């Protein structure tokens, strides 16, 4: 090999090394993270443009949202999932390399490899050896790029987060801290390290319900009802699992768990309220819903909840052909209350 060839090979290797180092090391400052995340999100009102590059109002609002979430300590994967949950998987400019999308990632290198083999067969023997070496180098580079992509993806996946797992002391600290200051990611980590911590599992189920992440809530609630816990925790686990299974589209199963929860705590207002909704809206059984609501209406509750209960009571009564209850007083109370009223009129 001549000196010129050696210099060329060294320069090529150096350049490739610099590119790979940049891809692997990257930069992880908050501003860089916001830029990196918004570069991966598609502007919802543009044609194939990223949120980072788009000057549209929607994109600027999404950037502000990402900044907020980065400052709250959420991971890249959690932030991307937040937008995927609202805009769908098309919100990501690069589809995740899993499931059917895997084909999209594998087809280009496979076509490239096929092309290289096809050209090799056509080339005459003096050039074949050199071409073969070139092909191997090109395919190896292709493989390296794919590896880096997959590595980046799995690193941003919360299930394999690059942050070290907490020690037992850290886990205890987190469980004894005010839960409102703990991020979902921290809670998930603590739960995976301490699978018998019932309280935190119940807390994250509530968060996922509030965030509309029903699949994630269901994953935890299904475990919670099988765990050894105190009677109060078990009753709450049954209640939450009942509501989550209803939201997941299984009203019969939801009602079953809510009734089981009520068997342990017959006067639990939350369980009664949830069961009344499942009976009416899920099982289409206004009579059973009315029975539950009649029990609930005698309990103490704030004005907002009472208004909701009376509204649902009237829906059930209307479906049964019964006279409606006068809501005027409750509505007037609700308007005076500081509780946030629901949409009306």
Partner 1 sequence: MKRTSRIAFAIVGIMIIVGFSWAAVRSLNNGASITNSALIGKPVPGESLFDIETAEKISLNSPGNIVVINFWAPWCAPCAGEHRMLNDAVARYAQQNVRFVGIAYQSENDAVTRFLDANGHAVRTLLDPDGKAAIDFGVTGPPETFFIDGSGVVRARVAGAMSTALLDDILTKLANGTTDLSKIKLAS
Contact range with partner 1 by CB under 8 A, out of 126-134, 153-161, 210-218, 222-230: 210-218
For the bound state, the minimum distance from the C-beta of residue 198 to partner 1, rounded and expressed in Å, comes to 24
Measured CA angle at 112 (ends 110, 115), to 5 deg? 110
User: At 167, which helix (H) or strand (E)?
Assistant: none
For the bound state, the minimum distance from the C-beta of residue 57 to partner 1, rounded and expressed in Å, comes to 5
For the bound state, the minimum distance from the C-beta of residue 123 to partner 1, rounded and expressed in Å, comes to 19
Nearer to partner 1, 56 or 120 (CB): 56
HSE value, Cβ hemisphere, 13 Å, CA-based, for 249? 1
**Residue 340 structure tokens:** 């946030």
Give bridge partners of residue 42 from the DSSP assignment: 50
Binding to partner 1 by residue 212, rule CB under 8 A? Answer: yes
SS3 assignment, position 92:
strand
- Which are the contacts of 322, defined by CB distance < 8 A and separation ≥ 6? none
Give bridge partners of residue 7 from the DSSP assignment: none
**Residue 143 structure tokens:** 């493989």
Site string for partner 1, 283-312 (x = CB under 8 A): -x-----------------------x--xx
Burial 56-74 (b: 16+ CB within 10 A, else e): eeebeebbebbbebbeeeb
For residues 224 and 196, give the distance between their C-alpha atoms in angstroms, rounded to a whole number.
Answer: 9
Nearer to partner 1, 149 or 315 (CB): 315
Binding to partner 1 by residue 320, rule CB under 8 A? Answer: no
Max Cα-Cα span within the chain: 99
How many other C-beta atoms are found inside a 10 Å radius of the C-beta of residue 204? 24
Task: Write out the binding residues for partner 1, residues 55-84 only, by CB under 8 A.
Answer: 57-58, 61-62, 64-65, 83-84
For the bound state, the minimum distance from the C-beta of residue 150 to partner 1, rounded and expressed in Å, comes to 25
Binding to partner 1 by residue 252, rule CB under 8 A? Answer: no
For residues 288 and 278, give the distance between their C-alpha atoms in angstroms, rounded to a whole number.
Answer: 10
Among 327, 267, 322, which residue's Cα sits nearest to residue 290?
322
For residues 220 and 204, give the distance between their C-alpha atoms in angstroms, rounded to a whole number.
Answer: 8
Nearer to partner 1, 145 or 247 (CB): 247
Binding to partner 1 by residue 210, rule CB under 8 A? Answer: yes
Task: Write out the binding residues for partner 1, residues 262-281 only, by CB under 8 A.
Answer: 277-278, 280-281
CB 246 within 8 A of CB 255: yes
Binding to partner 1 by residue 160, rule CB under 8 A? Answer: no
Number of residues binding to partner 1, judged by CB under 8 A = 40
From the list 16, 113, 315, 331, which residue makes contact with partner 1 (rule: CB under 8 A)? Answer: 315
Q: Please give the torsion angle defined by the CA atoms of residues 52, 57, 63 and 64, in that order, rounded to the nearest 10 degrees.
A: 160
For the bound state, the minimum distance from the C-beta of residue 235 to partner 1, rounded and expressed in Å, comes to 22
Binding to partner 1 by residue 16, rule CB under 8 A? Answer: no
How many other C-beta atoms are found inside a 10 Å radius of the C-beta of residue 273? 21
Nearer to partner 1, 120 or 319 (CB): 319
For the bound state, the minimum distance from the C-beta of residue 86 to partner 1, rounded and expressed in Å, comes to 4
For residues 148 and 110, give the distance between their C-alpha atoms in angstroms, rounded to a whole number.
Answer: 17
From the list 249, 252, 294, 302, which residue makes contact with partner 1 (rule: CB under 8 A)? Answer: 249
From the list 30, 88, 115, 266, which residue makes contact with partner 1 (rule: CB under 8 A)? Answer: 88
Contact range with partner 1 by CB under 8 A, out of 5-13, 139-147, 191-199, 313-321: 313-321
Binding to partner 1 by residue 343, rule CB under 8 A? Answer: yes
Binding to partner 1 by residue 246, rule CB under 8 A? Answer: yes
CB 199 within 8 A of CB 234: no
CB 301 within 8 A of CB 278: no
Residues in contact with partner 1 by CB under 8 A are 44-45, 57-58, 61-62, 64-65, 83-89, 209-210, 212, 214, 246-247, 249, 277-278, 280-282, 284, 308, 311-312, 314-315, 318, 340-345
């Amino acid at each position: 090999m001549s000196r010129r060839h050696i210099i060329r090979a060294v320069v090529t290797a150096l350049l490739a090394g610099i590119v790979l180092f940049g891809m692997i090391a990257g930069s992880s400052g908050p501003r860089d993270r916001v830029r990196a995340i918004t570069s991966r999100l598609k502007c919802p009102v543009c044609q194939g443009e990223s949120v980072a590059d788009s000057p549209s109002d929607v994109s600027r609002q999404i950037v502000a949202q990402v900044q907020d979430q980065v400052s709250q300590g959420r991971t890249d994967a959690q932030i991307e999932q937040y937008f995927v949950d609202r805009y769908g998987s098309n919100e990501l400019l690069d589809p995740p390399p899993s499931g059917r999308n895997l084909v999209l990632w594998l087809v280009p290198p496979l076509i490239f490899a096929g092309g290289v083999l096809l050209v090799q067969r056509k080339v005459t023997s003096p050039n074949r050896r050199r071409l073969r070496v070139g092909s191997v180098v090109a395919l190896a580079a292709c493989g390296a790029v794919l590896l880096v992509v997959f590595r980046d993806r799995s690193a941003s996946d919360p299930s394999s987060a690059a942050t070290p797992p907490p020690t037992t002391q850290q886990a205890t600290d987190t469980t004894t801290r005010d839960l409102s200051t703990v991020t979902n990611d921290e809670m998930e980590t603590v739960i995976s390290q301490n699978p018998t911590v019932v309280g935190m599992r119940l807390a994250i189920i509530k968060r996922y319900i509030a965030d509309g992440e029903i699949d994630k809530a269901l994953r935890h609630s299904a475990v919670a009802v099988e765990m050894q816990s105190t009677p109060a925790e078990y009753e709450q686990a049954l209640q939450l699992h009942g509501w989550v299974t209803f939201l997941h589209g299984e009203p019969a199963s939801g009602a079953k768990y809510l009734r089981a929860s009520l068997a342990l705590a017959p006067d639990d207002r939350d369980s009664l309220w949830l069961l009344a909704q499942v009976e009416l809206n899920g099982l289409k059984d206004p009579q059973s819903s009315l029975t539950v609501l009649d029990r609930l209406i005698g309990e103490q509750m704030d004005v907002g909840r009472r208004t909701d209960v009376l509204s649902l009571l009237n829906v059930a009564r209307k479906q049964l052909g019964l006279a409606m209850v006068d809501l005027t007083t409750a509505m007037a109370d609700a308007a005076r209350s500081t509780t946030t009223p629901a949409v009306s009129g």
